[in-house]
Chains A and B, each alone.
Chain A
Amino acid sequence: MTHRKDAWWIAPFLTVLGFGAFIVYTTWAALQGEHYWYGSYLSPFYSPLLFIDSSAAGAAPLEHAWFGSWPTWWPAMLPSSPALFILMFPGVFRFTCYYYRKAYYRSFVGTPPACAVGALPRKSYLGETALLLFQNFHRYALYPAIAFVFILYYDAVLAFFHDGRFGIGVGTVILLTNATLLGCYTFGCHSFRHLVGGRLNCFSCDKQTQLRYGTWKRVSCLNERHMMWAWISLFWVGFSDLYVRLCSMGIIHDFNTWGF
């Protein structure tokens, strides 16, 4: 299969562990439907709050819902969790991301597991030409992902105000960092880089193309470290949910200037 003598299997193995842990935790957290709110902190897994089931423990106040209380048409067999309405958007964005494609093609599908290591046997290889044409959906997943960055910044700013009083807590720092890391990941995306300027052939033609060239250069700086932003933002968004959840459940205490 390969004559490589180095530990080529470590990277795909760690990727499986990392993604596996995140998927398991995210699924579990999304299905809880409770303990996603503490003080003025909102878990990023639950933002934006389209509907709120006020009867759930650790639920946000009803005035934070975009469309009001929990809908009566919601199937009883499903948990009343606001996360179920929104998680598919960042989920599709990450799933079709060029970096994540590399990571899971290698780690989960073995095409190939590592460079110069034989691909796992399959009947035929069609690349991204047949079923995987849907990966071209990435550009459409980008648009809501950009909106989510602004929504999460809005949440982070609101977190600084508890009962109308400005303050700072560990949670505010965590949520602000979360929005920033997600911004670095989203605005370093290959599709975004293409749209802002990469699709041009002439950067110097006029004022508009020169402006787009400057934007493209800055986006390229983020794009060079896209893998790093992808992993850090993935970890941090999960950590942010965990922090809010543990505070809401009373397991840990949030140090803040409000004194609660």
Chain B
Amino acid sequence: MAKRIFNIWRGDATGGRFVEYHTDVDTGMVVLDVVHRIQAEQAGDLSCRWNCKAGKCGSCSMEIDGKPRLACMTRMDTFSPSATVTLQPLRAFPILKDLVTDVSWNYQQNKRIPPFRPRPRDADGRYRMQQIDVDRIQEFRKCIECFMCQDVCHVLRDHSRFDTFVGPRFMIRLASLAMHPLDALDRIPAVRKEFGSGMCNITKCCTEVCPEQISITDNGIIPLKERVVDRFFDPLMWVKRNLLRRSA
């Protein structure tokens, strides 16, 4: 069995470098298996976050050959046998050690979003909604919080606008609340001003890297941007909202 070459970033917040490892790769292995083999045989102090090994926990996200991917879902047979595979931590977030980054900023953003606020119950004391009303937002519930969309978003990754943009993952959380048939909170002004919908220039990288194939841009961010247009940039909607409704 031929040895395969891996360039793995080693270091911490103070700095680091790529270290080359040569290891055997068996049939059916994924990148996370390789990291575990290198940990076991060559570098016991190599840090890597992982948990389910089934593409459902989102822990093992890293940059593989420069693109954010789940290490547990990236099969080794997708690489050329002679190719050197490069592994590095998510670039948008502070490095803790080796392949592990500090993604706590994301949890802080989640806390900023006002929680679900249901409208009053119907006269019989029940809430009612149909499946067709929630199909859209159930797509967003597939999110496993791997934060690869946050990592690849150039607003955060290249321009470091963590102060003005909440990122794609939380835009779809906002969309799931804004589109919810029972949610009574008006979220659109905050979507624009506090969470920065205008910072997104819809280049769709978040959608490209999503391991759950959520149409983040088309079904989440663009509909939110259109709701912002309804509220702030469409005089016809303003007339309908303010004048026609008042006279009715």
Contact = CB atoms under 8 A, between A and B. Distances in A.
Interface of A: 2-6, 98, 101-102, 105-106, 111-112, 115-119, 124-129, 132-133, 136, 138-139, 190-191, 194, 198-199, 201-204, 213, 223-224, 226
B202 A5 contact: no
Interface string B96-130: 00000000000000000000000000000000011
Given A129-B198, A191-B226, A202-B129, A112 B205 contact: yes
Interface string B179-204: 11101000000000000101111111
Contacts of A202: 129, 133, 181
Contacts of A128: 198-201
B198 A3 contact: no
Given A118-B158, A128-B200, A133-B198, A204 B165 contact: no
Interface string B22-66: 000000000000000000000000000000000000000001011
Contacts of B181: 201-202
Given A105-B201, A119-B158, A213-B132, 19 more contacts: A3-B88, A5-B86, A102-B204, A111-B158, A117-B66, A119-B159, A124-B159, A127-B196, A128-B199, A133-B198, A136-B228, A136-B229, A136-B233, A191-B226, A199-B227, A201-B179, A202-B181, A203-B133, A204-B133
Interface in B192-248: 196, 198-205, 208-209, 218, 222-223, 226-230, 232-234
B204 to A, nearest CB: 5
Contacts of B91: 116
Contacts of A3: 63, 65-66, 86, 88
Given A127-B199, A128-B201, A201 B180 contact: yes
A201 B209 CA distance: 28
Interface of B: 63, 65-68, 83, 86, 88, 91, 129-130, 132-133, 152, 154-155, 157-159, 161, 165, 178-181, 183, 196, 198-205, 208-209, 218, 222-223, 226-230, 232-234
Given A3-B86, A198-B226, A101 B218 contact: no
B223 A116 contact: no
Q: Report, nearest first, the 9 A-B pairs whose CB atoms are least far apart.
A: A3-B66, A4-B66, A115-B205, A127-B199, A204-B130, A194-B226, A129-B198, A125-B159, A119-B158
Contacts of A204: 129-130, 132-133
B203 to A, nearest CB: 5
A159 to B, nearest CB: 35
A142 to B, nearest CB: 11
B41 to A, nearest CB: 25
A7 to B, nearest CB: 12
A5 B66 CA distance: 7
Contacts of B196: 127, 129
Contacts of A101: 201-202
Contacts of A201: 133, 178-181, 183
